[in-house]
């Protein structure tokens, strides 16, 4: 049980379901801290590629994860360099999903993720926030949307950032990533039995944020 630990809202779900945007907005509204756990997996993949380490080399990649020199402060800083937009590239997302399947890498990132739990509270987004990292979260949300809606959102996001993209390739990437994230043996993407299922296919970001905030208010009333 959470005891006196700060409350956590865990938002899990597949690629491009809007978790990041929603989690960040909810955190801002509540004045809570925000953990983008996917960014940690992306950083590990990035740092491993940068160091020329094979992504299947579990001990090499988990060493990178343990020793990651990263600061989240007005952007993401790896070894004192701002990594920002490049981290969001599809190639890094795919590499992240490969290193995320390695049990020792997940283990290496656990304490780092839990350290984000600071007063007055935390909103954390990822795949296993409610199942593994914060099983005692006050509220667990499973955010999803159809693969087509998610590919469409990702396409617009990349266009807004001036990055090129092909709709068909994005849809295929999303399907591949869903399959890999759901099928892996450790901490697979799945809806916890105590998570609330929220399909965002036909909802705007504002509507989703409002629903999460309303659910949190309700959760606070449960002793």
User: Footprint of ligand CDP on this chain (CB under 6 A)?
Assistant: 15-16, 37-39, 41-42, 93, 96-97, 100, 126-128, 177, 181
Looking at beta carbons only, is 31 or 126 nearer to ligand CDP? 126
Please state the closest distance from residue 63 (CB atom) to ligand CDP, in A: 18
Looking at beta carbons only, is 4 or 15 nearer to ligand CDP? 15
Please state the closest distance from residue 112 (CB atom) to ligand CDP, in A: 12
Please state the closest distance from residue 78 (CB atom) to ligand CDP, in A: 15
Please state the closest distance from residue 223 (CB atom) to ligand CDP, in A: 29
Looking at beta carbons only, is 40 or 203 nearer to ligand CDP? 40
Four-CA torsion 176, 143, 134, 136, nearest 10 degrees: -140
What is the C-alpha separation between 127 and 189, in angstroms, rounded?
5
Q: Which residue is nearest to ligand CDP (CB)?
A: 38
C-alpha distance from residue 112 to each of 3, 32, 120, 125 (Å): 20, 17, 18, 14
The 10 Å Cβ neighbour count of residue 161 is 11
DSSP H/E element including 116: none
Structure-block tokens of residue 122: 């935390």
Looking at beta carbons only, is 92 or 218 nearer to ligand CDP? 92
8 Å CB contact between 130 and 124: no
């Amino acid at each position: 049980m959470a005891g006196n630990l700060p409350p956590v809202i865990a938002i899990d779900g597949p690629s491009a379901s809007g978790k990041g945007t929603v989690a960040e907005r909810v955190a801002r509204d509540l004045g809570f801290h925000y953990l983008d756990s996917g960014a940690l997996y992306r950083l590990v993949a990035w740092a491993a590629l940068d160091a020329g380490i094979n992504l299947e080399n579990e001990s090499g990649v988990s060493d990178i994860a343990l020793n990651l020199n990263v600061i989240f402060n007005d952007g993401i800083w790896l070894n004192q360099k701002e990594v920002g937009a490049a981290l969001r590239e599809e190639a890094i997302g795919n590499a992240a999903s490969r290193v995320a399947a390695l049990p020792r890498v997940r283990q290496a990132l656990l304490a780092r993720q839990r350290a984000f739990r600071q007063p007055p509270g935390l909103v954390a987004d990822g795949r296993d926030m409610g199942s593994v990292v914060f099983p005692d979260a006050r509220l667990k949300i499973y955010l999803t949307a159809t693969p087509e809606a998610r590919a469409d959102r990702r396409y617009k996001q990349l266009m807004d950032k001036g990055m090129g993209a092909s709709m068909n390739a994005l849809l295929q990437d999303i399907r591949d990533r869903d399959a890999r994230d759901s099928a892996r043996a450790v901490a697979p993407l799945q809806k916890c039995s105590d998570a609330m299922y929220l399909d965002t296919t036909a909802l705007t970001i504002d509507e989703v944020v409002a629903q999460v905030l309303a659910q949190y208010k309700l959760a606070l009333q449960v002793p």
